[in-house]
Structure 1
Amino acid sequence: MIEILSKFDNRFHELLSKKTIASASSTSVLPDGFADSLDAAEEVIMRWDKASSDAAWTKMIWDSNDDAVDYLHAVDEVQNILESLSLSQRRAGVERAQNLLHVSMARLEDEFRCLLETTSGPVDPERLLDSFASSSMAAAASSSFNSNCDDDGEGSSIAGTYRDEEGENSSDDDNDEDVPVARPVTDLNPVIELLPPDVVESLNDIAKRLVQGHCKLECCQIYGSVRKVVLEESLQRLGMDRLGIDETQRMPWELLQNKIKKWIQVMDVGVKVLFASERQLCDQVLEGIPGGVEESCFAELAKGIMMQLLCFGEAVAIGKRETDKLITILDMYEKLRDLLPEIHSIFSGESCLSVREEASGVLLRLGEAAKGTFAEFENAVQRDPPKTPVPRGALHPLTRFVMNYLRFLLVYVDTLKKLFGEKPAVPVYYHHHHQYSSVPAENTSPLAVQFIWIIHLLEANLDNKSKLYKDLALTNLFLMNNVRYIVQKVRHSELSSLLGDDWMRRHSAQVRQHAKSYERSAWVKVLACLKDEGIRSGGSFSTGVSKAVLKERFKSFNSALEEIHRTQSGWCVPDSQLRSELRISVAEKLIQGYRAFLGRYKIYLESERNPQKYIKYTPEELEKMVNDLFGGS
């Protein structure tokens, strides 16, 4: 640069020596020294004036570094002259300098625009994603490094032991080389260079002169208009859509869901890479210019685009509340929440206040949308109408849906805890629906209350659906299966810690109660056949046995058993452990009673013709029949 400036000084002196007489006479009103400088500056500036030179149309100043340096020095000379002279002192000379400054500003505006347009271009999505992925991997590596070093404090204790053992000897050898030590990754900045450094330097040189020449507004407008187009195209290549609120709300959910996924990616990569890089570029181009010019310029190019992105979030937030949307809305909420500090940092200053306020407002409305959609989920569970009974007493689709939905929501447990943090611990409605679930303890978290309430609504709905069965045994089996499924889903997930041990104990007891109710309603008729009442004359063992009654009793037992085997072999108990436990429980009661009954009365029929007509089954055969039960799927 020093060499270039030296060359300029030589050429500038040559220009001074070639002044014409006309030029000399025109500047005679200026003090000595100023006239020569103004003449030399005028020759450089007018050489690039499109109104005065045809060559100025075919070539740009910044095509040559020497020409650029000459022109900047000429502009600086004019500005120095204007700063040194007052209008009243040398009116003619000042007016001439002002005219030259006006001509130079017009040319610098052209150069500024041309340099921006020829070097700016949309960023390839792969480059953006690579930069974003690299920073994410670096963050993960840094986190892993820190966690490994901090485990049990071993890193610090080992270092301390090493220093203690070395003592003073550790400093004796000044020639020891430093031992390489692994360092955590600290540079997690995904910002990229949008323009080459030499171009940024040239733009900064031009911008400084434009602002000094009172063309701050024009400078910002040129910079903003060029970079805005580039930024918008880069985001569009990444997947940004320009959608209005009405268009967004009319869109089918399947299509809107895909748009939301794209929006999340565009926001993530856009804020962390593109907007951050644009802010860095803007700060570099306008570095050293007082008055917060970089903030107004950045607002000029980025504010509208960011507001467009936030408008999409607003459209989703104020849309119709539907259960299917909750997960997606939570994704949007979490992404905007995580990006909010960076948005506030990038869009700093008074010029971007509206962006920061809008981002915070959209986040608030997405949170309200999530809570409203959660409430709609509650309503959907409560309103799901009983239509036709589920075949074979199996799991109801509503049970699967609700429990899997709740388990999936655990991914967002921290977010949900924050959203429901203001709600009372025990809602009033619990006191009116305590027949299904007891009121939660006062220290139950607000989120746990919401989950307990939804399961309570599910249980109430299942109770209504169970009434569709005409067979009481199948009613109890249906409730047993569904409550068991609920308990298992809670037990094998983080729901167990959220809902608490008391909830688990009560619902496990419900499963056992439904199982007992099934056994009573299904097997009471069969087991009644194995009672002694009515078989002996006079009702005591001291009197004789009525063979006719005994034969009828065995026939009734066989008939009832065969009917149960025929119907309940197709019934369903999906949980293998519960199915095994239920078979064992039934077998114990049935086979034990049957063995005792045979032991007491078998001898009375063995002498009869065709005793197998009445004593059709052995205890082993009964066990096999019981093991055939609940084989439906």
Structure 2
Amino acid sequence: MSTFVLPPLIKLRFPTDTIGEDYYREETSVSSSAEITETNSSLSSWTCPGVLTSTEITSTAYADTKVQQPPLTSATAYAFQDTKIPDLGSATKIINYVDGRSSFSSLMQLQELIYDARSTFTEYLYAVDEVQQSTKSGMISSYETQRRAMKTLQLVFKGILTFSISGTRSYLRSSTVYSSSVTSSSSYELQGSGYTVQGELSSEQVYRLQNIAERLNSTGCLGDCIEAYKISRKSAVDARFLRFGFGKWSIDDLQGLDSEEFTANIRLWIQTARKFYNSFFPGERQYYEQIFGGVSSVTYDNCFLPIVKEVAIELNNFANAVSSIASFQKLFAVLDLYKALSVLIPEIRNMFSTKLSAYISQGAIKTIENLATLVRQLFSSFEDTVLNERLNTLTRDGSIHSLTKYAMNYVTSISQYEELLKSIILSGPIESVGYQLDEQSLEDSGKSPLQLHLIWIMISLRINLEGKSRCHEHSSLRYVFIMNNVNYVIKTIIGSPELLELIGKEYVLKLSKDVIQATHFYSSSMWPRLLYCLRDPRLSNKFTFYDKLSKDSLKDRFKAFNTTFEEVCQTTSFVLDIQLRDQLHKFILRKLLPAYKCFLEKYGSHTLSKRYKEKYIKYSPEDLDYAFRTLTNDNGFSVEC
């Protein structure tokens, strides 16, 4: 059927005495008279159950038989409390005027019933109620008028639905009242009383739809409108879902996303699901209940459920697909999804509680269980990685390893989900690390399973770091590596009150002892090298009378001391923590200074000439402390870790 464009509307009042074209003014021409004729022809041929055609009316009149119509509901009675229609004749004129005595006028009046002030719509309802009342009384002449009224109300019902979707006044495409094209604009449209987002029904539109549905139902003419309602509202729901940009996702699609993209899609799902379950779905249910609340043939299952189920299933499918991922790097996005879905479960249960819709809520509950299982699997995968990661690419300065940084960032994030994880992690670690002393920390029965798992991760990290330290060629760098990495672990724990509470001060104290032990081993490996250079040079020469050889040996000792001292200072500078480095400085100098002073006093002044003394004695006892501080702080490693 052809489509035509209506002229601008001119506000009219329905006539009660005269029917004619004097009551409107044409400002623009209709596209073609043939289109109008085609529309009127279509309207005239329309029938609905329970309303007699003109032929049936004639036959019934000759048979002198009264046809019983369904009684008007109590809600209809309000129209007669303050009726503006004085008699049946006036009501018939109003209905006939809209229906088609003048094509152009009737189209304008139909648009007024859809768009304009309630007074026009209410006046028409008064006329319909008057006609229905007379039909109920058995007045045969009212049947044809009632048929015309029901046909008009159907068009108005569908027109309101179309206007709520398109937001434009281009309705009346004959009997085809639903357009499948839905605009994606998020602009606001003026609909009835007040502003509503495009796709929503305003309170005025709901009022009109409810009143029309009531009258159509009383004559058995509501069927087509129910289908039109479901198509229109489903279109609105689907369009809103598409506006969120949330497509269909398979397990393979999700597996292929990196952590950042995966997290972004989880956040989009959370935003979408919250909006639909907290706003859109309840809104659609309220529309259905308000419009069809008094219609027994329209139920939750055959009206509301078809409108929303596809979006609900799509939301469920994504969440369920997430439960099959395998990367522990996506744990926190999964936890966000789990938390959001857990909060929504009561709404989902309430929204889908009937026998035909329960599979949706049951699917969401099953997804929650699957996500909890996934969280435990990802948690275990991370633990295994911390213990068994074998990347031995180390820097020359014993700095903080990438595993240490990643693991501590990860457990810090875990502490932010403490309450949620306590409800998911229900048992402690079962794998043994093989270190009895460390595993004693896991035997504290007062700790939760989550706390025990975090301590287990710390133990695993410490064991892994110990293995990586052996990759350093020099023992001094091994101890620097342990000091830097374990000290970083301690500072990270202390810097997070939540993490400190979970791991406990007792285990932090144990880690501190590890650092102290590494400090002691480092000092013990460094100062003997310096003292070795200060041993008595005569011990290296059996012939003490050979004075020239003793002087050469002494020169070598001073040269060796200078070189070794600067190497010790450089290695000590690799210790990142300033306080720890200062402790090493004090410990080494406390051992070194007395020996150096003694050696210098014994051999520096008497054995070497003034020329050689200035060349080989690079540091005086007074300068040794300053030189140590300068050399350890000027290598670019003086920032606290």
**If the length of structure 2 is used for normalisation, what is the TM-score?**
0.70
Question: 1:127-138, aligned counterparts within 5 Å?
Answer: none
Query: Does residue 277 of structure 2 align to residue 271 of structure 1?
Result: yes
1:293 aligned partner, one-letter code: T
Question: 1:150-161, aligned counterparts within 5 Å?
Answer: none
Farther off after superposition, 606-615 or 321-330: 606-615
Question: 1:166-185, aligned counterparts within 5 Å?
Answer: none
Question: How many percent of aligned residue pairs carry the same amino acid?
Answer: 25
In structure 1, the gaps of 5 or more residues are 1-6, 12-19, 83-92, 129-189, 539-543
Which secondary structure state, in structure 2, belongs to the residue aligned with residue 428 of structure 1? Answer: coil
CA deviation map 1:324-380 (0-9, x unaligned): 211221222222222223333444544432222222222222232222222222233
1:341 aligned partner, one-letter code: P
Which secondary structure state, in structure 2, belongs to the residue aligned with residue 283 of structure 1? Answer: helix
Question: 1:24-43, aligned counterparts within 5 Å?
Answer: 25-26=61-62, 28-30=64-66
Question: 1:205-604, aligned counterparts within 5 Å?
Answer: 205-212=211-218, 219-251=225-257, 254-290=260-296, 293-294=299-300, 296-319=302-325, 321-420=326-425, 422-424=426-428, 427-430=429-432, 432-434=434-436, 438-440=440-442, 441-493=444-496, 494-530=498-534, 552=553, 555-556=556-557, 558-566=559-567, 569=570, 572-598=574-600
Find the aligned partners of 1:126 and 1:323 in 2 and give their Cα distance. 41
Which secondary structure state, in structure 2, belongs to the residue aligned with residue 432 of structure 1? Answer: coil
Question: 1:42-61, aligned counterparts within 5 Å?
Answer: 58=107, 60=110
Mark the CA change 1:553 to 1:518 in structure 2 (over 3 Å): closer, same or farther.
farther
Residue in structure 2 matched with residue 172 of structure 1 by the alignment: none
Find the aligned partners of 1:374 and 1:583 in 2 and give their Cα distance. 42
Find the aligned partners of 1:126 and 1:518 in 2 and give their Cα distance. 70
Farther off after superposition, 608-617 or 278-287: 608-617
Mark the CA change 1:256 to 1:588 in structure 2 (over 3 Å): closer, same or farther.
same
CA deviation map 1:22-47 (0-9, x unaligned): 5884361229999xxxx999979995
Which secondary structure state, in structure 2, belongs to the residue aligned with residue 306 of structure 1? Answer: helix
Which secondary structure state, in structure 1, belongs to the residue aligned with residue 432 of structure 2? Answer: helix
Shift of 1:484: 0.4
2:162 is aligned, of 117, 120, 127, to 117
In the alignment, is the contact (CA less than 8 A) between 1:323 and 1:373 conserved in 2?
Answer: yes
* Higher share of residues assigned helix: 1
1:508 aligned partner, one-letter code: S
Find the aligned partners of 2:304 and 2:68 in 1 and give their Cα distance. 44
CA deviation map 1:174-232 (0-9, x unaligned): xxxxxxxxxxxxxxxx9999322221111112233455556776554332211111122
Find the aligned partners of 1:497 and 1:33 in 2 and give their Cα distance. 76
Find the aligned partners of 1:102 and 1:31 in 2 and give their Cα distance. 14
Which secondary structure state, in structure 2, belongs to the residue aligned with residue 586 of structure 1? Answer: helix
Aligned residues: 533
Find the aligned partners of 1:107 and 1:126 in 2 and give their Cα distance. 30
1:622 aligned partner, one-letter code: L
Shift of 1:106: 6.7
The root-mean-square deviation of aligned C-alpha atoms, in Å, is 4.6
In the alignment, is the contact (CA less than 8 A) between 1:248 and 1:256 conserved in 2?
Answer: yes
Find the aligned partners of 2:68 and 2:519 in 1 and give their Cα distance. 112
In the alignment, is the contact (CA less than 8 A) between 1:382 and 1:461 conserved in 2?
Answer: yes
Residue in structure 2 matched with residue 186 of structure 1 by the alignment: none
In the alignment, is the contact (CA less than 8 A) between 1:487 and 1:508 conserved in 2?
Answer: yes
Query: Does residue 127 of structure 2 align to residue 70 of structure 1?
Result: yes
Question: 1:3-18, aligned counterparts within 5 Å?
Answer: none
Shift of 1:617: 2.3
In the alignment, is the contact (CA less than 8 A) between 2:533 and 2:561 conserved in 1?
Answer: no
Mark the CA change 1:209 to 1:24 in structure 2 (over 3 Å): closer, same or farther.
closer
Residue in structure 2 matched with residue 622 of structure 1 by the alignment: 624
Find the aligned partners of 2:252 and 2:610 in 1 and give their Cα distance. 88
Find the aligned partners of 2:105 and 2:306 in 1 and give their Cα distance. 30
Find the aligned partners of 1:336 and 1:302 in 2 and give their Cα distance. 18
Mark the CA change 1:610 to 1:530 in structure 2 (over 3 Å): closer, same or farther.
closer
Mark the CA change 1:612 to 1:55 in structure 2 (over 3 Å): closer, same or farther.
closer
Mark the CA change 1:325 to 1:514 in structure 2 (over 3 Å): closer, same or farther.
same
Find the aligned partners of 1:45 and 1:350 in 2 and give their Cα distance. 46
Mark the CA change 1:514 to 1:43 in structure 2 (over 3 Å): closer, same or farther.
same
1:234 aligned partner, one-letter code: R
In the alignment, is the contact (CA less than 8 A) between 2:412 and 2:499 conserved in 1?
Answer: yes
In the alignment, is the contact (CA less than 8 A) between 1:200 and 1:284 conserved in 2?
Answer: yes
Question: 1:601-612, aligned counterparts within 5 Å?
Answer: 605=607, 610-612=612-614
**If the length of structure 1 is used for normalisation, what is the TM-score?**
0.71
In the alignment, is the contact (CA less than 8 A) between 2:562 and 2:618 conserved in 1?
Answer: no
In the alignment, is the contact (CA less than 8 A) between 2:404 and 2:461 conserved in 1?
Answer: yes
In the alignment, is the contact (CA less than 8 A) between 1:396 and 1:482 conserved in 2?
Answer: yes
Mark the CA change 1:446 to 1:102 in structure 2 (over 3 Å): closer, same or farther.
farther
2:593 aligned partner, one-letter code: I
In the alignment, is the contact (CA less than 8 A) between 1:323 and 1:374 conserved in 2?
Answer: yes
In structure 2, the gaps of 5 or more residues are 1-13, 19-55, 71-87, 115-119, 167-182, 190-195
Find the aligned partners of 2:375 and 2:453 in 1 and give their Cα distance. 13
Shift of 1:415: 1.3
Mark the CA change 1:33 to 1:239 in structure 2 (over 3 Å): closer, same or farther.
closer
In the alignment, is the contact (CA less than 8 A) between 1:41 and 1:75 conserved in 2?
Answer: no
Mark the CA change 1:31 to 1:8 in structure 2 (over 3 Å): closer, same or farther.
farther
In the alignment, is the contact (CA less than 8 A) between 1:41 and 1:74 conserved in 2?
Answer: no
Mark the CA change 1:527 to 1:305 in structure 2 (over 3 Å): closer, same or farther.
same
1:476 aligned partner, one-letter code: Y
Find the aligned partners of 1:293 and 1:437 in 2 and give their Cα distance. 62
In the alignment, is the contact (CA less than 8 A) between 1:220 and 1:300 conserved in 2?
Answer: no
Find the aligned partners of 1:74 and 1:298 in 2 and give their Cα distance. 32
Residue in structure 2 matched with residue 196 of structure 1 by the alignment: 202
Farther off after superposition, 50-59 or 520-529: 50-59
Farther off after superposition, 548-557 or 449-458: 548-557
Find the aligned partners of 2:365 and 2:200 in 1 and give their Cα distance. 28
1:512 aligned partner, one-letter code: I
Shift of 1:514: 0.8
2:124 aligned partner, one-letter code: D
In the alignment, is the contact (CA less than 8 A) between 1:105 and 1:215 conserved in 2?
Answer: yes
Shift of 1:248: 4.3
1:563 aligned partner, one-letter code: T
